[in-house]
Amino acid sequence: MSKKIIWFFNLTLSSIAMYCFFLLSCAPKEGSAKESWFASLLSLSTPFLEDKKIPETFGSGLENSYSIRSISPNIVMENSNFLIEGENLSHLTEKQLFGDDYSKFLQFTEVTDSKITVSLHLCPDSTFVLRSTGKTDSNFQFSIPCLGSFRHSIRSLKFDLGIPMEPISPNYSGNSLDLLRSLGEIEFVIDSPVSAGIQLHPVTGVFFGTPTETTKNEFRFFTVSAQLKTNPNLRIQTSFQYIVVTDEEKTNRTCRSISQTSTCMFPSPHVCSNSSQCFTSRFACEMDTKCGF
């Protein structure tokens, strides 16, 4: 609607201008008078057009106005939070600071003008790098080392009594172990005693040995930590379970298929000697605490 009004107003001004120009051309040729009329006409139309200019987008430079003062702690770990402090941070998003793949690693849980709380659930293969400010001419960057996780085994471990076990080495995500070792001397420790004969190498984190006692037909859980000797609180951890069995215990835990019966009508029924239950499949049997490994 406003565009139509402006168009109509301009058309009216144009008609008046043509009419005045016609009158001037017929009047005595006094240059100063003609110029006075024409200048007055322009001064009438120009202010209106200037007032209707579309304003520039407000805040188009906000992305460049932020400033990061500090990040704590200076080494971050998976499944933990860290804090970014600075000025003009409230408009920032995860993508602006950490790039397109940010959703794989973290999310903002609290954002204010002076701080951002970041929840970290996975470490990248390399360190996080952030510019201290949004200005492109600034070369100062924050490098945030990230300590990821490690594991010895995805599955539960079964050891046979009196038989030497295959050495089990830890596996690490990204450069976690190298990063931890760059901070000082590390050691591997466990939070509870393991069965006699099973050993953990304190420097390499490798499990080895020959089990000399059973776990009484039960799985045992424990946690392994790789930690700095000078600061045990700076560590990465993994948890897993294991069982040490005799030949008889191994046989009693073994799942086997049976034929369908009146009390076991599943398509692929399985049982084990340790349980009176009939399982729907081999997988269901092996997932039971009394059967499988």
In a domain, 136, yes or no: yes
Q: Do 136 and 182 sit in the same domain of this protein?
A: no
The tens digit of pLDDT for each residue in 11-68 reads 555 666 555 544 445 544 444 444 444 444 444 443 333 333 333 333 445 456 899 9
Number of other residues whose CB lies within 10 A of the CB of residue 244: 28
Q: Does residue 159 come out as left (phi exceeding 0), alpha (psi in the -120 to 50 range) or beta?
A: beta
The tens digit of pLDDT for each residue in 139-160 reads 788 988 888 877 776 678 899 9
Locus of tokens 């987008």: 57
Structure tokens at 174: 């990204």
Rounded Cα–Cα distance for residues 194 and 214 (Å): 10
Q: What pLDDT is recorded for position 64?
A: 60
Q: Do 69 and 141 sit in the same domain of this protein?
A: yes
For residue 198, pLDDT over 90 is answered with yes
Domain that holds residue 29: 1-34
Q: What pLDDT is recorded for position 132?
A: 86
* Average pLDDT, integer, range 212-240: 90
Q: Do 68 and 132 sit in the same domain of this protein?
A: yes
Residue 202 vs residues 48, 146, 190: alpha-carbon distances, Å: 82, 23, 10
Q: Do 234 and 208 sit in the same domain of this protein?
A: yes
Lowest mean pLDDT among 4-13, 112-121, 232-241: 4-13
Average pLDDT score over the chain: 79
* Average pLDDT, integer, range 71-77: 90
Lowest mean pLDDT among 37-46, 90-99, 183-192, 238-247: 37-46
In a domain, 67, yes or no: yes
The tens digit of pLDDT for each residue in 152-186 reads 766 788 999 999 999 988 877 667 788 888 889 99
* Average pLDDT, integer, range 221-239: 89
Q: How many domains does the chain have?
A: 4
Q: Do 81 and 135 sit in the same domain of this protein?
A: yes
* Average pLDDT, integer, range 244-271: 89
For residue 286, pLDDT over 80 is answered with yes
Q: Do 141 and 180 sit in the same domain of this protein?
A: no
Rounded Cα–Cα distance for residues 189 and 16 (Å): 94
